[in-house]
Structure 1
Amino acid sequence: MKTVLNTRKAIIPATLAAMMLLGACGNGEPAKEAAASTDSSKSAGASTGGVQKVVWWHAMGGDNGKAIDKLVADFNAAHKDIQVEAIFQGSYDESLTKMKASMDSNSGPSIIQVYEIGSRYMIDSKAITPVQKFIDAEKYDTSSLESNITGYYTLDGKLYSMPFNTSNPILYYNKDMFKAAGLDPEKPPVTYEEITAAAKKLSKDNVSGASFAIYGWFMEQFFANQGAELLNNGNGRDKLATASNVNTDAGVKTLTWWKDLVDSKAAINLGRKTDDTKKAFAAGQVAMILDSTAALRGIVNSVSGKFEVGTAYLPKPADAKDGGVVVGGASNWILNNKSEAEQKAAWEFIKYLSAPEQQAFFSVNTGYFPITKKAYDQQIVKDNMTKYPQFKTAVDQLHATKPNKATQGAVMGVYPEARQITENAIEEALAGKKSPKDALDAAAKEISGKIADYNKTVK
């Protein structure tokens, strides 16, 4: 069998199977509509009458999809020589599977939106042209791009894809409950220890102090917030990772704290779905939750003025080293089985999406971060900050993040599967089936085995 490094057409079966297991962080929207058929793009990239066609596969449904349609329509109106067709392909996992199926023909996209945890896989597939090539060719100015966002998609000094929709996790809390419990609503807890103390005071009258969804993304973020690397070999950035660090001190300390919260009845375990913790929070049944910054507008609106929503940084141990959060969401990748003209046209569209005006529009209409600092100068972003002042917490947290290998984010080819294995471990520990250390030891061993299998396919 040819490996992915020998041909871009060979897609690693084990990795694709893993990617079908789980959606990415940052609230990659579930597919609510039927995905468009790839048949509609069989003439992808065809140039007719001097007009270059660009096909963009994305995973944004609902209101996010409407925002994308508006961006594309405006681009097409302003660029008569390039016409972009945006095609919703369902979830991130479904989109990747369709990309694999299209590699033997020219039916695939010019650009594909891929969740952040698919980055190692996309690089190893040899199916893409790094955007760094276009940046270098025209000396494109990247100075205004958020370095804590582009850093995730940069390996060996090369930016492989252009960030598009970006988020990070924050703490949401009920300010009214804080006041009633004698807590200062303007001084939210920022450490594990403070979360525990506040949760115990908030837990009364059929109200739970906190509930954190069993989500592997949260564990990854807790690692980064302690300046701890989730994988060996510089989080998989110095060279291919060979082992998981999920069972090291950062993981054991976090899961022990989490379990103690649940065991003491200061927190309630509502399972794996962030939708369930959001509903409980909106209903006034839970005082504190964790969720993506991209969920902010929906959470505030769901409360409907019943209480004031507060936001705070992701908590960390009091003795944690310098760290911060890792960006979630997705980026846009240019496929290399297209003509040079089509790839250049794709790059023109990516530049358009990255400009302050478009980033401002997309941020306000979806809740994701702008990837460029200049977007915050746009009036619609300023107005949105006034309407949703809680969003400032997310922006400040991004800018306060200390750049290092931990906060740059882990990269591995079996990330979705590793995330599910971590969730299984958290679930076992919270249920008392295993100690936090034993659960994470087993998870680290299993993840490391998956990584080893993957690495064999790319050597």
Structure 2
Amino acid sequence: MRNRLPRHNDFRRPSRRSFLGMTAAGLSVPILGSCAGGVTSDDGNGNGGNELGQVDISPPSEYRGRDVNVVMWSAMGGVNGEALDALVDKFNQSQDSIYAEVQFQGNYHESSPKLTAALRAGAVPDIMMLADTFWGRFLLNDVLEPLNGYLTDDFNRDNYIEALFDEGLVGDELYWLSYGRSTPLFYYNKDAFDEVGLPDRGPETWTELREWGQELSKLTVQGQPLKVHAFTGDDDWQFMSAAWQFGGSLSDGLDVTINTGGAVDAAEWQQRFIFEDDMGYMAESSATDFGTGVVATTITSTGALRGIYENADFEVGTSFLPAQVDTGVPTGGMGFSLIRDVPQERKDAAFELMKFLGQPENAAEWTLASGYLPIIKAAVDEPELAEQIAEDPNRSTAIEQLPMAQGSDAIRSYLPNGTDIIISGLQEIFSSGGADVQSVFDGVAEELERGAEGIQESYERYFG
């Protein structure tokens, strides 16, 4: 089980000296809201404080003059962005006191630095969409609003899949409310499996996948043997699950373990599978390659199912992730946080939007449009979603796998450039059969350890 943090209110803020020290270490650390510009106010206890201004917002004519305007910064583009826009527009039409606007800021890696810049400038969004591996970085700098006080008798942990709700807890205080959540799934081409006489299921272990690969490789695509499995070299999320499956981890707290035990074993296995067995390769987009039929299997997000269906001209199967020494299923995706130093009226209005998105009907609409997990328990009883789950077993695979899932290792969640460091090592391993995994991961570990030193003080305020 993932360690829980003590209550945030028991901690002091990091000093400006410690913050500047982290910045000097070359880390992309979000600036504290308390250091940002804003409107000086009283915090209700006789102490002066800063209230952050709001980024530009332009209500259309039919929504002008409402009591409060709310801005959500989103990292969702494409179909998912359109689905979120539709739900927020539905919120605007459902009442006449709050106008909410979604502003797309690019993907997680693009939107997160924009929040840092907004905090420095003193004008911020009211709701920030943050990936599961990004919100903790802002938490360590005391930027996020505690959310327990906004929960009500009819909107609280009981409404949610508890394991997903709990990932936003710090001790028993909520700072991040799950929304677009996922786990990786094993995807396989049912037609290819059937053609070579394999069972209609995913492999139970990586060893079994290698055994099956002997048969799948007899098939051809464009005159070449069909590749068995596509790895994604820019996705440390999937590698983390493999490390767990081989009995290892990326870290224990901030103690780096990627260069020991099962993590090394997992990378060596995958490297052999690519270069010695000639059954795998590093794909630019494994979901795209799988959907177009150039590879027999891959591992990618629950949220990729809809896009794969649109591309595939074969029957798609999904299953639990392969095990090896152990099982290993990471959760992923995003949720919403409020910014602490925003005026209370805006925070109250912003949480009304978050509650609206969490109503069963709206949560089901989001899942149907995006393919993300239904995080609200009652959403699965909404007629259209219930029908799709009953008719398509692929839609229930992630739900059934969820009890095995856990949150990310801390070095990936809290070190701002931790994912980049890990990915650079994975790409070196996956692009060269001659790369020595132990040596590469020793170098990765050294970089991670240096980075961990820069956040150790802030991390220990929470973990002790």
Classify the TM-score, shorter chain. Answer: 0.7 to 0.9
**Which digits, 9 at most, give the CA deviation of each residue in 1:51-91, with x for residues without a partner?**
12211111111111111111111111122122212111122
Superposed displacement of residue 144, structure 1: 3.0
Output aligned runs, 1:175-214, within 5 Å: 175-184=190-199, 186-204=200-218, 205=220, 206=224, 207-214=226-233
Give the TM-score normalised by the residue count of structure 1: 0.82
Deviation at 1:109, TM superposition (A): 0.8
Q: CA deviation at 1:439?
A: 2.1
Of residues 137, 144, 148, the one that matches 1:132 is 148
2:289 corresponds, among 280, 283, 298, to: 280
* Aligned amino acid, residue 261 of structure 1: F
Indicate the SS of the match to 1:165.
strand
Q: Deviations over 1:197-231 (max 9, x none)?
A: 11222112321122211221111122344675432
Whole-angstrom distance in 2 between the partners of 1:49 and 1:227: 58
| Bigger Rg, which one | 2
> Residues 358, 52 of structure 1: CA spacing in aligned structure 2 closer, same or farther, 3 A cutoff?
same
Partner of 2:455: 454
In structure 1, C-alpha distance between the alignment counterparts of 2:58 and 2:120, rounded to whole Å: 12
Partner residue, 2:331:
327
In 2, Cα distance between the equivalents of 1:348 and 1:221?
35
Q: What amino acid is aligned across from residue 443 of structure 2 in structure 1? A: A
Query: Among 117, 128, 133, which residue is 1:112 paired with?
Result: 128
- Scaled by the length of structure 2, what TM-score is found? 0.81
- 1:110 Cα deviation after fit: 0.8
Q: Deviation per CA, 1:97-146: give whole Å up to 9, x if none.
A: 222222245521111101111122111121111222323x7684312311
* In 1: Cα distance, 2:246 partner to 2:97 partner: 49
Structure 2 residue aligned with 1:307: 314
Give the structure 1 partner of residue 298 of structure 2.
289
Write the distance in 2 (CA, Å) between the matches of 1:425 and 1:50.
51
Residue 261 in structure 1 maps to residue 268 in structure 2: no
Distance 2:107 2:267 in 1: 29
| Residues 307 and 50 (structure 1), Cα distance of their counterparts in 2 relative to 1, 3 Å cut | closer
Verify the 8 A CA contact 1:190 1:312 in the aligned structure 2. no
Aligned ranges 1:290-439 → 2 under 5 Å: 290-303=299-312, 306-317=313-324, 319-320=325-326, 323-386=327-390, 388-399=392-403, 401=404, 407-412=406-411, 415=415, 417-430=417-430, 431-439=432-440
Instruction: Rate the CA distance shift 1:16–1:269 in 2: closer, same or farther, 3 A.
Output: same
Separation in structure 2 between the aligned mates of residue 60 and residue 7 of structure 1, nearest angstrom: 33
Indicate how the Cα distance of structure 1 residues 51 and 251 shifts in structure 2: closer, same or farther if over 3 A, else same: same
Counterpart for residue 179 of structure 2:
164
> Which residue of structure 2 lines up, in the alignment, with residue 152 of structure 1?
167
Deviations along 1:16-36, one digit per CA (max 9) or x if unpaired, are 289xxxxxxxxxxxxxxxxxx
* 1:24 matched residue in structure 2: none
Distance in structure 1 (CA, Å) of the matches to 2:358 and 2:243: 29
Q: Count matched residues.
A: 412
For 2:227, what is the secondary structure of its paired residue? Answer: coil
Query: How far did residue 332 of structure 1 move?
Result: 0.4
Counterpart CA distance in 2 for 1:337 and 1:248 is 42
More strand by share: 2
**What letter corresponds to residue 344 of structure 1 in structure 2?**
D
Q: What corresponds to 2:74 in structure 1?
A: 58
Cα gap change, 1:337 to 1:256, in 2 (>3 Å): same
Distance 1:416 1:104 in 2: 17
C-alpha spacing 1:409/1:279, structure 2 compared with 1 (3 Å): closer
Aligned to 1:22: none
The amino acid across from 1:112 in the alignment is: M
Evaluate the alpha carbon distance shift between residue 102 and residue 281 of structure 1 in structure 2; reply closer, same or farther with a 3 A threshold.
closer
Distance, in Å, in 1 between the alignment partners of 2:202 and 2:55 is 52
Which of 74, 85, 89 matches 2:101? 85
> 2 CA distance for matches of 1:223 and 1:281?
23
Return 209-218 or 291-300, whichever deviates more.
209-218
User: Aligned partners of 1:333, 1:146: CA distance in 2, in Å?
Assistant: 18
What SS is found at the alignment partner of 1:352? helix
Q: 1:283 to 1:86 in 2, by over 3 A?
A: closer
RMSD of aligned Cα (Å) = 2.9
Task: Assess, with a 3 A threshold, how the Cα gap between structure 1 residues 377 and 385 changes in structure 2: closer, same or farther.
Answer: same
Please say if residues 133 and 408 of structure 2, whose CA atoms lie closer than 8 Å, have aligned partners that are also in contact: no
Q: 1:416 to 1:284 in 2, by over 3 A?
A: farther
Task: Give distance in 2, aligned partners of 1:104 and 1:17.
Answer: 12
* Structure 2 spans left out of the alignment, 5+ residues: 1-11, 31-53
Q: Does 1:246 align with 2:253?
A: no
- State the distance in 1 between where 2:132 and 2:16 align: 23
Conserved in 1, the CA contact under 8 Å of 2:184 and 2:238? yes
**For the Cα contact (< 8 Å) 2:169–2:175, is it kept in 1?**
yes
Please tell me whether the aligned partners of residues 66 and 99 of structure 2 are also in contact (alpha carbons under 8 angstroms).
no
Q: Residue 300 of structure 2: SS of its match in structure 1?
A: strand
Equivalent position amino acid for 1:92 in 2? Y
